[in-house]
């Protein structure tokens, strides 16, 4: 249910010193920098010391992960794959001056397209604006060998896709009142209107079904020749068959090295689902996957998160392969084993609480590969599966990816953020000391407990909050985390050593929600992304309800807006109060109240403050968005060809990796 996206943490960790020591300084975390992006590298600590079998399991799972790359590109837009091919052909063969203005602009654009898995910004959803000339691309296209040039008709459309700002301007449009399907550039629907699709799914919903599949999760919706609405299924023999067959091959190889029979069954079921495309099988797989808590190695591979579908139905393809970080997992195990205590003490109405919280499995993991929708921009915490009834009756798995958070932290030292935005030395010291650990705890609480807490009243449609559902769900999980970060219970459980530590997190959260996250919004635009809306909603609500009593204020000091928190305990009470209201909205399916909250607090940007933030950021050299290159894995073999080891390497730069992936993993 979550993507606590890259930039969030990049921002949150902007300058803190870690509470735990950073690894050797000779490791180059920063790999590339262009446009509004910084590309980092992450380490995979302890990989070397895993047993060979686990290394081989990870190796084959990483191959299965990388093999799905083209699926996501095509889901994002039907023109992305031919566009990538054209751009890479030119990028690789260009023989002119690579320092010329046109080529430099072209290179930036290619890097942006790689980063976004397509021609639309991964976060703002807006189409990129190329800074090179049309004639440059014309010339370079004609200079390619004939067999590497697109056909005339494809070329025309690609040039329109690159240069015409009015053509497919938005990846996912969320603007109320418009046809969200017709105005979104994603390739999940064709020839159908929003109304038709909504009616289609409405007719398929069976309100008496206690275990409904997630309709549309693995399909593209089109009209057939008779004008009837049909779903095209992503499966072996269906849509994306070529890519999915190869994923299945790698999964089959991985299965050889499964750690235990249960894990082998998980892989078998996933393969079976990829062959049938049957969502009942996906549910069976999800239940088996949730039940696999003994294995050290774990993975996600499939159509998972539906943020890139304007209607929130179809899952974007993604994969993350990981293994448990045993030391750090102690933290989430403590939280998980106290889940019922947290539920029972939550500041929401008794009627909306769970009598019995179902098995929350929480662990801290080390990512071994990021792929599909999780690459290069990646979440730092994940909580799956997304199916409501499976979560209710079988629980969910929740993870914090600590080698990713560690890389963000290590890369952000000395960038000047604190000096600019946190004038109070006491707050700054608290952040230096406690921000890294409280951010990790925030993610743990958000993922392990927040999303899983509370319940719907009987008969309430889980989709009742419609387009505002994601924002309010993220707000619910964040508020749960914020409320409990300040609870003495955390000190009692030994998760933190100071009752004041939470203040670092509170200050940074409100600073981000009220001010600094605006640096990722273009002037004149609204806040659209669900996690950003959530943070703005919470922060603006707390400011609105706390400023008259002086609890939280925004003041101008020497022309700069400064956030002050004067009563942290009162802020916690406000978080608790808002949590109660958001939970009520969710539990009762109160769409009108949910919409009012979002519209009032989460969307509109104060243009003066926005300009000020952008100006202040312009003086710092902080990239608004960050993502990662993966390590490379290589199997070593003896003379008989038997594997003897798997080596992890960190030598690739960003274009090298992207071009290699296109060579090795092109499937569509
Ligand atoms: Zn979340």
268 and 292 together in one domain: yes
Tell me how far the alpha carbon of residue 255 lies from the centroid of ligand 1, in angstroms.
Answer: 31
User: Which residues surround the ion ligand 1 when the cut-off is CB under 5 Å?
Assistant: 2, 474, 477
Pair 83, 119: CB distance under 8 Å: yes
Q: What is the 524 CA–ligand 1 centroid distance (Å)?
A: 27
- Residue 472 Cα to ligand 1 middle (Å): 10
- Residue given tokens 């697109």 in the structure block: 150
Residue 632, sorted as left (phi over 0), alpha (psi -120 to 50) or beta, turns out to be: beta
Same domain, 542 and 591: yes
Q: How far is the CA of 228 from the centre of ligand 1 (A)?
A: 36
User: 267 lies in a domain?
Assistant: yes
Q: How far is the CA of 158 from the centre of ligand 1 (A)?
A: 36
Q: How far is the CA of 391 from the centre of ligand 1 (A)?
A: 14
Last residue of a domain, one of 412, 445, 464: 412
Distance 5 CA to ligand 1 centre (A): 9
Q: How far is the CA of 578 from the centre of ligand 1 (A)?
A: 17
Judge whether 134 lies within some domain.
Answer: yes
Which tokens in the block code for residue 214?
């997630």
Please tell me whether residues 224 and 373 are part of one structural domain.
yes
Question: What's the pLDDT at 285?
Answer: 98
| Distance separating alpha carbons of residues 185 and 125, to the nearest angstrom | 9
- Looking at the predicted structure, is the pLDDT value of residue 176 above 90? no
CA of 449 to the centre of ligand 1 (A): 10
Distance 378 CA to ligand 1 centre (A): 13
pLDDT digits (tens, 9 = 90+) for 337-382: 999 999 999 999 999 999 998 766 778 899 999 999 999 999 988 8
Between the CA of 1 and the centroid of ligand 1 the distance, in Å, is 6
* pLDDT tens by residue, 273-316: 999 999 999 999 999 999 999 999 999 999 999 999 999 999 99
pLDDT digits (tens, 9 = 90+) for 491-523: 999 999 999 999 999 999 999 999 999 998 989
Domain-ending residue, one of 384, 412, 440? 412
Do 656 and 596 share a structural domain?
Answer: no
- The Å distance, Cα 379 to ligand 1 centre, comes to 10
Instruction: State in Å: Cα 530 to ligand 1 middle.
Output: 10
Which residues in 479-638 belong to E strands, given as ranges? 552-557, 560-565, 625-629, 632-637
Distance of CA 555 from the midpoint of ligand 1 (Å): 31
Question: Which of 24-28, 119-123, 437-441 is least confident?
Answer: 24-28
Tens of pLDDT, residues 595-651: 999 999 999 999 999 999 999 998 887 888 999 999 999 999 999 999 999 999 999
15 within domain boundaries:
no
**Host domain of residue 565:** 421-622
Q: Which one has a higher pLDDT value, 189 or 177?
A: 189
Centre of ligand 1 to C-alpha 396, Å, is 13
Backbone angles phi, psi at 281, to 5 degrees: -70, -35
Establish if 630 belongs to a structural domain: no
- 456 with 545, same domain? yes
Centroid of ligand 1 to alpha carbon of 443 (angstroms): 8
Q: What local confidence, expressed as pLDDT, does residue 413 receive?
A: 66
Q: pLDDT tens digit string along 476-497?
A: 999 999 999 999 999 999 999 9
Distance 178 CA to ligand 1 centre (A): 27
The answer, yes or no, to whether residue 22 has pLDDT greater than 60, is no
Express each pLDDT in 249-268 by its tens digit: 999 999 999 999 999 999 99
- Indicate the pLDDT class of residue 47, thresholds 50, 70 and 90: very high
Neighbours of 645 (CB within 10 A): 13
Q: Closest Cα to residue 404, out of 626, 638, 660?
A: 626
pLDDT more than 70, % of the chain: 96
Where among 412, 434, 450 does a domain terminate? 412
Separation CA 415–CA 519 (nearest Å): 15
Residue 490 lies in a domain: yes
516 and 379 inside one domain: no
DSSP 527: P
Residue 434 lies in a domain: yes
State the pLDDT confidence band at 225, using cuts at 50, 70 and 90.
Answer: very high
Task: Please determine, for residue 460, whether its predicted confidence score (pLDDT) is greater than 80.
Answer: yes
My answer on whether 427 and 365 are in the same domain is: no
Q: Are residues 323 and 445 in the same domain?
A: no
Relative to beta strand 560-565, strand 360-372 is unpaired
Q: Average pLDDT, whole number, for the chain?
A: 93
In a domain, 350, yes or no: yes
596 and 530 together in one domain? yes
Band of the pLDDT at 410, cuts 50, 70, 90? Answer: confident
Residue 536 Cα to ligand 1 middle (Å)? 15
Report d(CA 82, CA 80) in Å as an integer: 6
CB 606 within 8 A of CB 401: no
Looking at the predicted structure, is the pLDDT value of residue 17 above 50? no
Given a contact cutoff of 8 angstroms between Cβ atoms, the answer to whether 286 and 393 are in contact is no
Q: Indicate the SS3 state at residue 454.
A: coil
The CA-CA-CA angle for residues 565, 571, 577, to 5°, reads: 160
Number of domains in the chain: 3
CATH number for the domain harbouring residue 380: 3.30.540.30
> Is residue 6 in some structural domain?
no
| Ligand 1 centre distance from Cα of residue 95 (Å) | 47
Same-domain pairing of 192 and 111: no
- Centre of ligand 1 to C-alpha 2, Å, is 4
How would residue 25 be classed by pLDDT, with cut points 50, 70 and 90? low
Task: Please tell me whether residues 318 and 217 are part of one structural domain.
Answer: yes
Verify that 429 and 318 share a domain, yes or no.
Answer: no
Distance (angstroms) between ligand 1 centre and the Cα of 182 equals 28
Q: Are 464 and 591 in contact (CB under 8 A)?
A: yes
d(CA 476, CA 9): 18
Report, as an integer, the average pLDDT of 419-438: 92
- The count of other CB atoms within 10 Å of the CB of residue 603 is 18
Confidence of residue 1 (pLDDT cuts 50, 70, 90): very low
Q: Ligand 1 centre from 162 Cα, in Å? A: 33
346 Cα–ligand 1 center, Å: 18
Q: How far, in Å, is the centroid of ligand 1 from the Cα of 243?
A: 29
């Amino acid at each position: 249910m979550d993507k606590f996206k890259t930039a969030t943490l990049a921002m949150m960790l902007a300058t803190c010193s870690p509470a735990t020591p950073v690894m050797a300084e000779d490791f180059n975390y920063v790999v590339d920098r262009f446009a509004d992006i910084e590309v980092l590298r992450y380490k995979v600590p302890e990989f070397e010391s895993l047993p060979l079998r686990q290394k081989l399991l990870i190796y084959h799972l990483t191959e299965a992960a990388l093999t799905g790359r083209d699926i996501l590109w095509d889901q994002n837009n039907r023109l992305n794959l031919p566009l990538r091919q054209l751009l890479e052909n030119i990028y690789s063969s260009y023989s002119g001056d690579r320092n010329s203005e046109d080529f430099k602009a072209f290179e930036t654009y290619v890097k942006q397209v790689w980063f976004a898995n397509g021609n639309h910004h991964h976060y703002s959803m807006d189409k990129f604006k190329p800074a090179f000339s049309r004639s440059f691309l014309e010339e370079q296209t004609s200079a390619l060998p004939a067999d590497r040039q697109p056909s005339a008709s494809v070329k025309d459309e690609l040039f329109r896709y690159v240069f015409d700002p009015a053509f497919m301007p938005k990846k996912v449009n969320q603007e109320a009142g418009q046809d969200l399907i017709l105005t979104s550039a994603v390739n999940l629907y064709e020839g159908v209107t929003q109304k038709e699709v909504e009616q289609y799914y409405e007719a398929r919903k069976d309100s008496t079904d206690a275990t409904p599949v997630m309709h549309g999760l693995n399909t593209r919706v089109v009209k057939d020749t008779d004008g009837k609405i049909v779903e095209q299924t992503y499966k072996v023999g269906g849509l994306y068959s070529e890519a999915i067959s190869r994923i299945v091959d790698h999964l089959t190889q991985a299965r050889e090295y499964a750690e235990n029979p249960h894990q082998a069954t998980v892989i078998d079921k996933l393969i079976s689902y990829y062959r049938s495309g049957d969502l009942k099988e996906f549910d069976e797989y999800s239940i088996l996957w949730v039940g696999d808590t003994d294995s050290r190695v774990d993975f996600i591979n499939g159509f998972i998160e539906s943020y890139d579908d304007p209607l929130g139905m179809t899952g974007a393809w993604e994969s993350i392969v990981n293994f448990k970080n045993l030391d750090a997992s102690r933290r989430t195990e403590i939280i998980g084993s106290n889940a019922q205590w947290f539920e029972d003490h939550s500041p929401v109405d008794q009627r909306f609480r769970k009598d019995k919280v179902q098995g929350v499995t929480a662990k801290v993991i080390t990512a071994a590969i990021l792929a599909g929708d999780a690459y290069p921009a990646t979440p730092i915490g994940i909580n799956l599966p997304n199916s409501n009834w499976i979560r209710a009756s079988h629980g969910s798995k929740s993870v914090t990816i600590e080698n990713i958070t560690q890389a963000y932290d290590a890369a952000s030292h000395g960038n000047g953020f604190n000096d600019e935005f946190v004038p109070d030395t006491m707050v700054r010291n608290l952040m230096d000391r406690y921000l890294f650990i409280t951010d990790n705890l925030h993610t743990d609480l958000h993922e392990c407990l927040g999303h899983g807490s509370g319940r719907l009243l009987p008969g309430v449609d889980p989709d009742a909050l419609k387009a505002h559902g994601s924002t309010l769900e993220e707000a619910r999980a964040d508020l749960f985390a914020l409320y409990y970060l300040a609870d003495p219970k955390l000190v009692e459980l030994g998760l933190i050593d100071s009752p004041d530590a939470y203040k670092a997190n509170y200050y940074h959260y409100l600073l981000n929600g009220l001010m600094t996250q605006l640096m990722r919004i273009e002037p004149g635009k609204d806040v659209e992304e669900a996690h950003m809306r959530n943070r703005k909603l919470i922060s603006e609500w707390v400011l609105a309800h706390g400023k008259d009593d002086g609890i939280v204020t925004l003041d101008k000091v020497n022309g700069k807006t400064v956030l002050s928190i004067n009563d942290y305990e009162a802020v916690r009470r406000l978080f608790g109060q808002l949590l109660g209201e958001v939970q009520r909205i969710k539990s009762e399916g109160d769409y009108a109240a949910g919409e009012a909250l979002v519209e009032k607090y989460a969307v509109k940007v104060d243009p003066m403050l926005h300009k000020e933030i952008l100006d202040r950021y312009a003086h710092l050299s902080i990239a608004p968005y960050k993502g990662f290159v993966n390590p490379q894995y290589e199997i070593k073999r003896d003379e008989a060809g038997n594997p003897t080891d798997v080596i992890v390497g960190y030598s690739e730069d960003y274009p090298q990796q992207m071009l290699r992936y296109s060579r090795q993993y092109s499937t569509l």
